[in-house]
Amino acid sequence: MELVEAIILAVLAASTPLLIAATGELVAERSGVLNLGVEGMMIVGAACGFAGAWLTGSILIGALLGILAGTLMSLVFALMALGLAVNQVATGLALTILGVGLSGLIGAGFVGERITPAVHLAIPGLTNVPLIGRVLFGENGFVYFSIALIVAVWWFLYRTRAGLILRACGDNHVSAHALGYPVLRIRTFAVMFGGACAGLAGAYLPLAYTPFFIPGMTAGRGWIALALVVFSSWRPGRLVVGAYLFGAVTILQLHAQGWGVGIPSQFMSALPYLATVIVLVLLSRARTGGSTAPAALGTVFVPDR
């Protein structure tokens, strides 16, 4: 019983940064922009988030700084890829390289420092309920926020006019432009949202997950978030499934190793990737069939004026 609860808590902790970063990237890609710089925006968010929290003692200020840093990074991308119509793939990769270097520079003075991590919710009577108490009522703000965020994004994309316009830009920027929508401005906002989410996901790492800063601490999570967006076929619901599935298999394979089930650890380490890909591919086959990628994803748009 206690072990099950412990495993669920660990899964939530491991999945949350993936979910937040992937949610942001999903919105950007739905508007037609492929930003491969998630890892770079995340690591800068981590460095700035930690710096903010360490200097002010406030996790909230740290998180906000992380969001700000991620947004600024995404503006660099927007300037290049949207403003100057540079190739999006190359710009995104460059953004990651820039982010890794920049975060090392920003974080250099904070390596080896520690902070008090984000507090967990505690409601007397509810948080102590066995099995579900701590899962539902004992998490930190990041976890609740990530769930609210993906619900809000789903509602925005499918239930609002603005969301429809954003998706239109991603599917056919020429038509959207012809209808009079400011494609580049909409895409810039989408990219900024993606940057803000990546920055927050990065800040989560030193503020809640492992409360210290070390260069390179994102360790490839930005790339996993990117892959999750593709395998979820750009749908928020499947993204949630994918992110939690990836986290769950990651944690379960660690436990399986501890129990000594005798399966080679190399295979176990590959399992989260395998399981996530297989399940999400099956999910997308079961429904509509065919590619659901935004039709204009990654293509450069220069309005004809």
Partner 1 sequence: MRKSLLALAAGLLLAGSVSAASAADKLKVGFVYLGPIGDLGWTYQHDLGRQALVKELGDKIETTYLENVPEGPDAERSIEQLVRAGNKLIFTTSFGYMDPTLKVAKKYPNVHFEHATGYKRNPNMSTYSAKWYQGRYIQGLIAAKMSKSGVLGYIGSFPIPEVVSGINATILAAQTINPNIKVKIIWANTWFDPGKEADAAKALIDQGADVIMQHTDSPAPMQIASERGKLAFGQDSEMIKFGPKTQLTSILDTWGPYYIERVKAELAGTWKSEDTWGGLDSHMFTMAPYTNMPDDVKKMAEDAQAAITAGKLHPFKCPIVGQDGKPVECKGGDHLDDGQILGMNFYVKGIDDKLPGK
Binding site for partner 1 (CB under 8 A): 2-3, 6-7, 10, 13-14, 17, 93, 96-97, 100-101, 104, 107-108, 111-112, 114, 205, 209-212, 214-217, 219-221, 250-251, 254-255, 257-260, 262, 264-266, 268-269
Handedness of CA 23, 213, 66, 133 (dihedral sign): positive
Closer to partner 1 at the Cβ: 259 or 290? Answer: 259
Task: Please state the closest distance from residue 138 (CB atom) to partner 1, in A.
Answer: 14
Q: How far is the CB of 270 from partner 1 (least distance, A)?
A: 9
Joined together, the tokens standing for residue 92 give 């995104």
Cβ at position 254, least distance to partner 1 in Å: 4
Provide CB contacts within 8 A for 247, sequence distance 6+: 11, 12, 14, 15, 18, 272
**Whole-number minimum distance, CB 3 to partner 1, in Å?**
6
Closest to partner 1 by CB, 175 vs 269, is 269
> Between residues 82 and 226, which has the closer beta carbon with respect to partner 1?
226
Rounded least distance, CB 226 to partner 1, Å: 16
Structure tokens given for 228: 């999750």
Q: Smallest distance, Å, CB 51 to partner 1?
A: 14
Between residues 44 and 176, which has the closer beta carbon with respect to partner 1?
44
User: Based on CB atoms, which residue is closest to partner 1, 255 or 285?
Assistant: 255
- Residue with smaller CB distance to partner 1, 221 or 235: 221
Minimum gap (Å) between residue 196 Cβ and partner 1: 21
* Between 42 and 168, CB nearer to partner 1: 42
CB of 153 to partner 1, least distance (A): 24
Both tokens assigned to 304: 């004809």
Would you state the structure tokens that stand for residue 253, as one six-digit string? 């394979």
Nearer to partner 1, 133 or 215 (CB): 215
| Spatial contact of 4 and 189, defined as CB atoms under 8 Å apart | no
Nearest distance, CB of residue 200 and partner 1, angstroms = 16
For partner 1, give the closer residue by CB, 204 or 231.
Answer: 204
**What span, in angstroms and rounded, lies between the C-alpha atoms of 82 and 86?**
7
